[in-house]
């Protein structure tokens, strides 16, 4: 059973992942409405969702290697607070 310190760290990581996925889950259903109101074509609003998933597929292994080399906390903090 994990100690209190490890449970706290796991909770922080879980909360960050939840917020990340929540943001993605909120945008996807609203994207067609915003695209139609701005006059975009269906491929124009499908491209951001596709590119997000493709970039996740390509760069998760890179981020994993960086986590192993530098540590999870610095990589997660930089990826969370960078724009």
pLDDT in tens, the chain (83 residues): 566 777 888 888 888 888 878 877 887 788 788 888 888 887 887 787 788 788 888 988 898 899 999 998 888 888 888 76
What residues contact residue 44 under an 8 Å CB cut-off, 6+ apart?
35
Looking at the structure of the chain, the number of domains it has is 1
Structural domain harbouring 49: 4-81
Place of tokens 């909120």: 26
Tokens read off for 9: 């760290």
> Which 3-state string (H, E, C) describes 25-44?
HHHHHHHHHHHHHHCCCHHH
State the first-to-last Cα distance of the chain, in angstroms, to the nearest integer. 37
Tokens read off for 17: 């992942």
């Amino acid at each position: 059973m994990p100690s209190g310190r490890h449970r706290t760290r796991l909770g922080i990581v879980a909360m960050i992942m939840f917020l990340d996925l929540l943001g993605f889950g909120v945008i996807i259903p609203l994207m067609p409405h915003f695209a139609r109101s701005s006059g975009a074509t269906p491929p124009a609003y499908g491209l951001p969702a596709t590119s997000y998933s493709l970039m996740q597929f390509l760069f998760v292994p890179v981020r994993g290697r960086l986590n192993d080399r530098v540590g999870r906390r610095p990589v997660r903090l930089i990826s969370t607070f960078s724009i």
